[in-house]
């Protein structure tokens, strides 16, 4: 449906739609001539007049129809979208902008229109990459208003809908249009940036062209020192993927008349002044001088700009031309044209001899004419004819006529304007060709930067064209705003068909309509030679006499007034005709086309034949209209977005807000027009909840029960008798004035309630006073009665007291006499005793001092003697030790001179091997003899046992027989009773009994002996078993010794193969160097031999058990592999081994320990060239290619950090000791030095030092190794990989923290602490920045929610202990203190000192200010801090405004990291990652000692003889 237009007479209609209900006590806005609007309270109403007590102390009387209600419940910091204002009118809009400007909130929405107030100071925190990331993809209106939000909406609409968009940036000079355009292009480049072309992005190329365009298209005006006098439309082209593919700069409506005519105190275009301030050689080259000497520049008295150096700007412009791609020759041609224009302006004409002819005025004009011809490279005579003569072509003949001086001057100015216009167009085309365009692009975003509405004291043709442009743009803007209103009403499904729409089509018809428009009449007047500005003005008066937008001034005959949408503008038509003429003279075209300079001839290509024969009329107004029409067609084909820039003051300083100036700009920018459009419909819109929350008290019954919000709102409005409102789906739409009506009713209800409360309070207070008075009267009575009783009692007490006083007086006199006498006696006694005590003390003091002096003197004497004795002893010891050292030195030097040092070492080694072989053979012989002796002794014991056993059996048999005989005798009956027989039998029995006893005794002794023999046999058997075990151990040692001998053979063979090369090197070395190297070798040999001999003496008993398998070794017959082949095989096996997942031994990574032990054993750290380091690094890099496998990353992070720790504690750079590099090299390069070093790898069983053995006590006993360059490079590469793996794990943890916590078990706790520290830091930054950027996050309920989450994190840190959590909880200090501030109560009572030092000591003033102004209590409705605290914060912020760091209130995610030291060439081979917040020294200090001696090698290399050194040493 087409909108209906309001055709009412005069200026745009007022903002209020219905009469506002204003009563006594209402807070209102009233007009003020100084500050536009002032707020106050209505104190009296008389008819239609109201008396207002203003807040500034004044009393104002105003008509009720000119008052506007003030919203007393508005937010302290204003609203970010002015459509949310309760009262949408001029003072409300102005107050909201002023409030936000004080808070450095320079951006504010009006619907989808952005208003940008120039802060006149840098606010870098608003435009950094972090802020761009926040607005990327965020819904419009979710975050604070920003220019990035508008650009993001345009970009998203282009991507999703496939339609081109445009952003119209407008405002008067100095409002910040150019800076806003730069920010838009920066953000669009951030969203759709592509790889830089020749090091520069499209956005950079467009911005780099600005200095060139500003130099040739900007000039000083009354309001701005750098005002753009042309319109610029930057088309940023995008491909199908949404990436920038090209750009183009379109310029419109260049103010060409400024080249020839300027008014004071303005200036011409900057390029003229820059060229006059160029270096002296260039000034002389172009024959220039002071700007005051040129007519086109001296029409104004302003030649320089405050704080700007034209000389520096000239050099900057030349550099910008180089960047854009303008060659040096083209630059010279450009400035030659600029200089020619200046010289053209100084050509003056006088009347010639003929009628209506002209000639050059004087020699000065002749000089400038010749100079112009020289610069333009054309004929001076032809140039003079082109300026003073015209050729008229008729059907009969060609007529050549002269021009009078006035027309010659017009011709001169026309030539200058034409040349400058062509030059500016060429610059724009050159910039576009340098940037590059995408012909296949179908989507673009255009940014229009064009001058705003202008109204000065004197307004000429330039202001007419500019205001005509703004009328066109305002019509486009009004249509867009009305369209947005329609979309809002359609979305809420309300009726809007009767809403009127204000249109300015009548003004556009007045200006551009054919044939009767102002431009058409002006062109018509320019076509007639005798027309003047007076005839033109009279034509306007006659044509538009009855037009409502055209006004004829009463006191002028040539001026006229046009009623624009922003107000009336009075134009002076004096120079309208001269400034409108723009036809190209055929003579000028022919002259410049024939120039010898290709650049100038290129500016004026040949015209078609039909136009070259005669002059064709062309006007600036007509051309202006065509360009404007093309611009509007471009804008109509795109989806528009609007940014209105506002200049808060004319002094161009921060923190100054001029209400009148801003209000005029809001009118000129169409913002108030948009508000009028909103007021024509439903300016006040509230959600159902907000409406009921504010006006629910007007109808309490509507809120009872479970009534729907929509129904409740409708009941309230109907009850109050309002008409014309609309109820949408989610909002209530009110007509203008209805909000004030509801607020008035609400004020009445609240007033009645307040009166009721006051009545109750007053009753309570009076009753309280009555009760207090009654209590007081009773108390007075009681006091008086008590007073009378007190008087009677006092009289009685006086009598008793008098008697008592007399008694005490007499007693006192007697006592005083006694005390006086007693005191006199004591004084005498005290003096005598004191005299005696002083004499005694004096004697004791003198005695003590004498004793002390004696003791000190004796102590000094003894100390001096001791020092002399000690010094003498030290001197004697030093001399004796020096004598011994010199003797030893002479001995070592003598040994160093021996030529058989190598042979001696080899002989000693062979002797040692023979000695060990002899000891092994001796041990075997001793073992054989011992076994034979044991066998003989066992056989003897066995035979003795058998003999004893036989004798025992025989004795037992005899005893049995004797017992049987005795039993038989006893049982037999006696035959003869004879005494003798009895006696004999008894004796025999006794003898037999005695013999039996002896046999028993012998048997017991034999048994005891047998037991002893059996015990001795068991002991011998046990001793044999122990010897058998020792023999087995000896066999094991023998096998180890054999393996060592085999490796020793390989080493000796390799040493022999290297001996030839070393001897050749030794021959080439100086004798002194050889001597020093051999001396060191001998020293090492002696030290090693001493160590071996001492070890042999200590282990002599143990070495007796060793038997030698061989006496000598045959080196020639046994085939050996070369050293390089063997080393290559070992390295291949190591690489295959570590490529597997070897796991952990305890908390130690097996792979890192194996690598370190192998590198240390192979002495890879001390060689100049080796490939093993590169292969290890490649293996690690291949293993971590899959960044998502966090288990692999954690495994390799543990290995890399452990290996880096071992290298940190082992390696030392060459040159760290006091020995010279030549000495170190010679000692390690000689054959004997290599042999003595190889002995360090000898097994412990033969009493030589073993690497593994030296590491048993822990990592603290690791010896320092002088590392060569490959080892140091390997260490730096490991450092870089620790950074890389750590960064990969950290990034993955940020994506999903919980599932990965289990993978940190084997990672060193130090790295785990660092991971959690950075995770908590990331949480702190994200939550804190969201709090500062989103107002809905800065609320009381959200603070309680976040506080609960922080409590859970604190509980987790407590359970995790400091070993893993570390100081991670401290990283949340910003969000903790901010949340603590949100949830505290009674904020208005807090002072700035309490907030900044007690509650939030970490937060800056900018952050506290941001939180305080954005805070809102959605739960209890409390307020933020007091206005005094806010003002104090603002003062502190103003003091710190020059500090860019202090202005930033957001936290940076990566501001607290630092890099580990690394080499530059390493960073070329390893992809850069985020740096880690710790150094290698931190890892070394935090990790415990690592014992690598008992690490079991993996099965792949355990059986290989080349890795025997990895086996744990035998006990």
Which residues are the active-site residues? 173-174, 178, 224, 227-228, 452, 454
DSSP state of 137: T
Q: How far is CA 1306 from CA 1144, 1301, 1488, in A?
A: 8, 11, 14
User: Cβ(26)–Cβ(69) under 8 Å?
Assistant: yes
Q: Which residues pair with 36 in a beta bridge?
A: 32
Q: How far is CA 404 from CA 582, 618, 932, in A?
A: 19, 21, 152
DSSP state of 63: E
Residue 684: helix, strand or coil by DSSP?
strand
Distance CA 1435, CA 1440 (A): 9
Distance CA 1163, CA 1152 (A): 16
- Spacing of C-alpha 407 from chain mean position: 66
Q: Which of 744, 737, 711 is nearest to 723 (CA)?
A: 737
Q: Which residues pair with 106 in a beta bridge?
A: none
Q: Which residues pair with 27 in a beta bridge?
A: 41
Distance CA 598, CA 596 (A): 6
Q: Which residues pair with 399 in a beta bridge?
A: 392
User: Cβ(568)–Cβ(561) under 8 Å?
Assistant: yes
Only one residue has tokens 């690592």, namely 1490
Only one residue has tokens 């009713």, namely 745
Q: Which of 1398, 1350, 1384, 1397 is nearest to 1370 (CA)?
A: 1350
Q: What angle do CA 303, 305, 311 make, to 5 degrees?
A: 80
Q: Which residues pair with 1148 in a beta bridge?
A: 1145
Distance CA 1368, CA 1324 (A): 10
By CB atoms closer than 10 A (0-12, 13-18, 19+), residue 1324 is buried
Q: Which H or E run includes 29? A: strand 27-32
Here the tokens at position 444 are 């673009």
Distance CA 721, CA 711 (A): 15
Distance CA 109, CA 95 (A): 14
Q: Which of 624, 597, 643 is nearest to 166 (CA)?
A: 643
Distance CA 1324, CA 1344 (A): 16
**For 522, how many CA atoms within 13 A lie in the half-sphere containing its CB?**
28
The secondary structure of 203-263 as a DSSP string is HHHHHHTHHHHHHHHEE--SS-TTEE-SEEEEEEEE-TTS-EEEEEEEEE---GGGGT---
**For 981, how many CA atoms within 13 A lie in the half-sphere containing its CB?**
6
Distance CA 799, CA 1170 (A): 123
Burial 897-933 (b: 16+ CB within 10 A, else e): eeeebbeebeeeeeeebeebbebbeebbeeeeeeeee
SS (HEC) of 375-415:
HHCCCHHHHHHHHHEEEEECCCCEEEEECCHHHHHHHHHHH
Distance CA 1199, CA 1177 (A): 12
């Amino acid at each position: 449906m087409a909108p209906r237009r309001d055709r009412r007479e005069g200026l745009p209609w007022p903002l209020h739609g219905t009469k506002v209900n204003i009563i006594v006590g209402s807070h209102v806005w009233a007009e003020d001539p100084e500050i536009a609007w002032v707020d106050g309270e209505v104190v009296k109403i008389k008819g239609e007049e109201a008396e207002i007590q203003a807040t500034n102390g004044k009393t104002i009387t105003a008509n009720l129809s000119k008052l506007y209600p003030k919203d007393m419940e508005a937010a302290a910091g204003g609203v970010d979208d002015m459509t949310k204002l309760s009262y949408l009118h001029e003072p409300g809009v102005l107050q909201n902008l002023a409030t936000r400007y004080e808070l450095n909130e320079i951006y504010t929405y009006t619907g989808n229109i952005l208003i940008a107030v120039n802060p006149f100071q840098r606010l870098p925190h608003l435009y950094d990459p972090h802020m761009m990331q926040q607005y990327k993809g965020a819904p419009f209106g979710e975050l604070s208003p920003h220019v990035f939000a508008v650009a993001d909406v345009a970009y998203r609409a282009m991507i999703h809908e496939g339609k081109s968009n445009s952003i119209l940036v407008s405002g008067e000079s100095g409002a910040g249009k150019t800076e806003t355009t730069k920010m838009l292009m920066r953000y669009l480049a951030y969203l759709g940036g592509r790889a830089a072309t020749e090091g520069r992005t499209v956005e950079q190329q467009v911005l780099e062209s600005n200095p060139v365009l500003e130099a040739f298209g900007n000039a000083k005006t009354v309001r701005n020192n750098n005002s753009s006098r042309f319109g610029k439309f930057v088309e940023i082209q995008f491909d199908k993927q949404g990436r920038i593919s090209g750009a183009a700069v379109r310029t419109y409506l260049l103010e060409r008349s400024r080249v020839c005519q300027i008014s004071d105190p303005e200036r011409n275009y900057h390029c003229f002044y820059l060229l006059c301030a160029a270096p002296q050689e260039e000034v002389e080259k172009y024959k220039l001088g002071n700007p005051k000497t040129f007519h086109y520049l001296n029409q104004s008295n302003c030649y320089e700009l405050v704080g700007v150096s034209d000389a520096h700007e000239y050099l900057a412009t030349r550099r910008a031309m180089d960047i854009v791609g303008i060659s040096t020759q083209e630059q010279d041609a450009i400035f030659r044209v600029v200089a020619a224009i200046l010289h053209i302006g100084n050509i003056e004409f006088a009347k010639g001899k003929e009628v209506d002819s002209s000639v050059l005025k004087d020699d000065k004009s002749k000089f400038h004419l010749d100079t112009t011809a020289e610069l333009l490279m054309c004929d001076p005579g032809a140039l003079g004819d082109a300026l003073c003569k015209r050729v008229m072509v008729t059907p009969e003949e060609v007529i050549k006529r002269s021009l009078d001086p006035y027309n010659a001057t017009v011709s001169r100015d026309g030539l200058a304007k034409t040349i400058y216009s062509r030059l500016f167009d060429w610059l724009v085309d050159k910039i576009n060709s340098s940037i590059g365009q995408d012909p296949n692009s179908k989507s673009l975003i255009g940014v229009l930067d064009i001058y705003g509405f202008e109204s000065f004291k004197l307004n000429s043709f330039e202001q007419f064209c500019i205001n005509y442009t703004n009328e066109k743009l305002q019509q486009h803007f009004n249509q867009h705003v009305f369209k947005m209103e329609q979309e809002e009403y359609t979305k809420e499904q309300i009726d809007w068909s009767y809403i009127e729409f204000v249109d300015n089509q009548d003004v556009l018809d007045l200006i551009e309509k054919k044939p009767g428009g102002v431009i058409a009449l002006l062109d018509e007047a320019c076509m007639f030679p005798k027309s003047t500005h007076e005839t033109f003005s009279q034509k306007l008066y006659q044509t538009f006499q009855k037009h409502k937008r055209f006004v004829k001034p009463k006191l002028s005959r040539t001026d006229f007034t046009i009623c624009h949408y922003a107000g009336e503008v009075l134009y002076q038509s004096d120079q309208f005709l001269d400034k409108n003429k723009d036809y190209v003279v055929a003579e000028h075209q022919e002259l410049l086309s024939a120039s010898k300079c290709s650049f100038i001839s290129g500016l004026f290509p040949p015209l078609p034949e039909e136009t070259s024969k005669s002059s064709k009329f062309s006007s600036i107004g007509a051309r202006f209209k065509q360009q404007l029409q093309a611009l509007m067609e471009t804008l109509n084909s795109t989806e528009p977005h609007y940014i209105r820039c506002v200049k808060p003051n004319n002094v161009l300083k921060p923190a100054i807000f001029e209400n009148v100036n801003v209000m005029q700009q809001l009118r000129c920018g169409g913002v108030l027009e948009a508000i009028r459009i909103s007021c024509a419909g439903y300016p006040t819109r509230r959600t159902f909840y907000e409406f009921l929350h504010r006006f629910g008290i007007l109808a309490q019954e509507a809120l009872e029960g479970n009534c729907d919000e929509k129904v409740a709102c409708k009941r309230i409005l109907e009850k109050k008798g309002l008409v014309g409102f609309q109820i949408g789906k989610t909002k209530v739409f009110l007509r203008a004035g209805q909000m004030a009506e509801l607020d008035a009713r609400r004020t009445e209800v609240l007033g009645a309630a307040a009166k009721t409360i006051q009545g109750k309070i007053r009753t309570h207070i009076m009753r309280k006073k009555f009760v207090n008075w009654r209590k007081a009267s009773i108390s007075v009575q009681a006091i008086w009665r008590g007073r009378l009783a007190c008087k009677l009692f006092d009289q009685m007490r006086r009598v008793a007291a008098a008697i008592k006083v007399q008694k005490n007086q007499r007693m006192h006199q007697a006592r005083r006499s006694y005390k006086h006498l007693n005191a006199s006696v004591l004084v005498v006694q005290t003096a005598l005793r004191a005299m005696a005590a002083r004499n005694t003390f004096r004697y004791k003091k003198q005695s003590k001092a004498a004793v002390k002096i004696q003791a000190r003197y004796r102590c000094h004497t003894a100390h001096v003697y001791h020092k002399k004795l000690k010094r003498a002893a030290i001197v004697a010891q030093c001399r004796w030790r020096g004598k011994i050292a010199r003797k030893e030195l002479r001995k070592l030097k003598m040994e160093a001179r021996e030529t058989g040092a190598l042979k001696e070492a080899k002989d000693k080694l062979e002797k040692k091997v023979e000695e060990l072989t002899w000891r092994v053979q001796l041990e075997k012989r001793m073992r054989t003899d011992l076994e034979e002796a044991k066998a003989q002794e066992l056989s003897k014991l066995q035979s003795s046992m058998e003999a004893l056993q036989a004798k025992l059996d025989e004795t037992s048999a005899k005893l049995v027989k004797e017992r049987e005989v005795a039993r038989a005798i006893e049982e037999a009956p006696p035959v003869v009773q004879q005494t003798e027989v009895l006696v004999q039998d008894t004796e025999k029995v006794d003898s037999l009994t005695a013999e039996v006893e002896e046999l028993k005794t012998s048997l017991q002794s034999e048994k005891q002996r047998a037991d002893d023999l059996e015990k001795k046999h068991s002991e011998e058997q046990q001793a044999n078993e122990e010897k058998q075990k020792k023999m087995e151990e000896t066999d094991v040692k023998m096998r180890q010794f054999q393996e060592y001998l085999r490796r020793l053979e390989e080493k000796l063979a390799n040493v022999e193969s290297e001996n030839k090369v070393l001897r050749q090197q030794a021959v080439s070395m100086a004798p002194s160097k050889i001597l020093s190297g051999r001396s060191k070798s001998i020293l090492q040999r002696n030290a090693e031999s001493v160590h071996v001999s001492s070890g042999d003496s200590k282990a002599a008993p143990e070495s007796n058990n060793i038997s030698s398998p061989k006496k000598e070794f045959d080196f020639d017959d046994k085939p050996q592999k070369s050293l390089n082949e063997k080393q290559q095989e070992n390295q291949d096996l190591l690489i295959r081994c570590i490529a597997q997942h070897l796991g952990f031994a305890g908390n130690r990574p097996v792979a890192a320990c194996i690598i370190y032990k192998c590198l240390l054993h192979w002495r890879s750290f001390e060689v100049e060239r080796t490939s093993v380091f590169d292969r290890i690094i490649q293996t690690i890099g291949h293993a971590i290619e899959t960044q998502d496998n966090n288990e692999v990353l954690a495994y390799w992070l543990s290995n890399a950090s452990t290996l880096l720790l071992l290298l940190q504690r082992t390696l030392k750079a060459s040159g760290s000791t006091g020995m010279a590099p030549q000495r170190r090299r010679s000692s390690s390069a000689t054959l004997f030095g290599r042999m003595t070093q190889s002995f360090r790898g000898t097994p412990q069983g033969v009493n030589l030092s073993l690497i593994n053995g030296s590491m048993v006590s822990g990592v603290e006993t690791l010896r320092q190794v002088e590392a060569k360059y490959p080892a140091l490079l390997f260490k730096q590469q490991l450092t870089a990989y620790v950074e890389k793996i750590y960064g990969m794990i950290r990034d993955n943890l940020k994506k999903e923290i919980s599932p990965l916590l289990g993978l940190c078990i084997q990672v060193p706790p130090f790295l785990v602490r660092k991971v959690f520290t950075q995770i908590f830091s990331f949480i702190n930054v994200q939550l804190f920045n969201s709090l500062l950027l989103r107002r809905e996050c800065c609320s009381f309920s959200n603070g309680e929610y976040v506080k609960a989450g922080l409590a859970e994190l604190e509980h987790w840190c407590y359970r995790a202990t400091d070993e893993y959590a570390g100081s991670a909880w401290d990283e949340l200090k910003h969000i903790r203190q901010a949340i603590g501030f949100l949830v505290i109560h009674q904020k208005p009572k807090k002072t700035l000192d309490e907030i900044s030092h007690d509650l939030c000591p970490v937060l800056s003033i900018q952050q506290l200010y941001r939180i305080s102004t954005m805070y809102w209590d959605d739960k209890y409705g409390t307020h933020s801090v007091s206005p005094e605290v806010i003002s104090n914060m603002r003062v502190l912020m103003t003091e710190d405004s020059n500090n860019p760091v202090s202005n930033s209130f957001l936290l940076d995610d990566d501001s607290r990291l630092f890099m580990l030291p690394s080499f530059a060439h390493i960073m070329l081979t390893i992809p850069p990652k985020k740096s880690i917040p710790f150094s290698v020294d931190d890892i070394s200090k935090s990790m415990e000692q690592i014992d690598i001696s008992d690490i079991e090698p993996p099965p792949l290399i355990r059986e290989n003889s080349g890795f025997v050194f990895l086996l744990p040493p035998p006990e």
